[in-house]
Amino acid sequence: MSNRFLDAESSYYNTQFIHNDLNGLNIESNSEMKIKVIGHVDTFTLKTIHENYEIISKNLKVYPTINVYSRDYKFEGGFGGFYYYDKNHINIADHYYIVSMLAHEMRHAYQYIYFPNLFFNTSYSSVREYLACDIERDARGYALDYCTIREYWEEVRECQKIEQDYELVIQNKMTASTVGLDEGYFIKKPYGSTLTTRNYQSNERALNYSEKKVKQNSILNKQLHPFIKATLITCASILGLGFVLLGLFSIIILLAAMVPD
């Protein structure tokens, strides 16, 4: 039986699996530079988060920034965390099963950065559709596989139990509220799929670079005094005319040299 963590590990050593810096949003760095605590999180939990961030980030080649909130923090919809792909950022609340939650959200970063065509090919407007979509099944599967490899057995059992409950919700045999999710949230905030290519990130980097150059030129034009700008344009014109005259003079000399005495 395959294991997603081991699959990613073998890909890590595969030269075809190239780290994508996501135009500066996915730069390789240690957890101290990436994780910020908001509120109170005990020392042991924080150490656990940092330790597992280091392992998961190297396994998946993802380096999102993370805000870790205190245990009493509540996200809308009943979630324990969110991944914001436009910022490559995770918000997560301290939880008894924090390792599997961290692995789950970082897997979403992996999906977006390296498989955007699959990441965006997702749509849901209910809890059932959300739980059944491919990227959520994959993220839950990675969390389970990671905890298994790391021998977090209590989290493994919890992941397995939750997955069983989720399947009951998907089959409409259990309500969303039973598993702590808010059906109303998905009705108010449905998610529609978008067709993208596998090289979406490369195209985005090229586009961002072009936009950056245009912006820089625009700022430069705005900053130049009108007189200075006019002077530069005049000098450029004179310089261009000078090159033309120099070229004509060279041709005349060459022709003169070719005429027999």
Residues 53 and 179 grouped into a single domain: yes
Mean pLDDT, the chain, rounded, equals 85
Least-confidence region, from 58-67, 171-180, 246-255: 246-255
Which strands sit side by side in the sheet containing 65-69, from one edge to the other?
35-38, 65-69, 89-93, 81-84
Task: For residues 15 and 58, state if they share a domain.
Answer: yes
Q: Are residues 195 and 223 in the same domain?
A: no
Same domain, 147 and 231: no
Q: Do 26 and 73 belong together in one domain?
A: yes
Would you tell me how many other CB atoms lie within 10 Å of the CB of residue 215?
A: 10
What letter does residue 247 receive in the DSSP assignment? H
Separation between Cα atoms, residue 45 and residue 5, nearest integer Å: 22
User: 151 and 211: one domain?
Assistant: no
Reported as type and span, the H/E element at residue 198 is none
The tens digit of pLDDT for each residue in 95-114 reads 999 999 999 999 999 999 99
On whether both 61 and 161 belong to a single domain, the answer is yes
Q: Are residues 150 and 173 in the same domain?
A: yes
How far is 56 from 43, CA to CA, in rounded Å?
20
- Segment 178-183 shows an average pLDDT of 95
The residue range of the domain holding 184 is 4-199
Do residues 102 and 189 share a domain? yes
**Burial letters for 230-245: b for 16+ Cβ neighbours within 10 Å, e otherwise?**
eeeeeeeeeeeeeeee
Of 149, 175, 199, the position where a domain reaches its end is: 199
* Residue 189 and residue 222 in one domain: no
pTM to 2 decimal places: 0.77
Of 175, 199, 223, the residue that ends a domain is 199
How many domains are contained in the chain?
2
Same domain, 24 and 151: yes
Percent of the chain with pLDDT over 70: 74
| Structure tokens that stand for 88 in this block | 């490559």
Q: What number is the average pLDDT over the span 146-165?
A: 98
Domain boundary among 164, 182, 199: 199
Q: Which amino acid is residue 125, in one-letter code?
A: S
- Residues 18, 42 within the same domain: yes
What confidence tens digit (pLDDT) does each residue in 32-44 have?
999 999 999 999 9
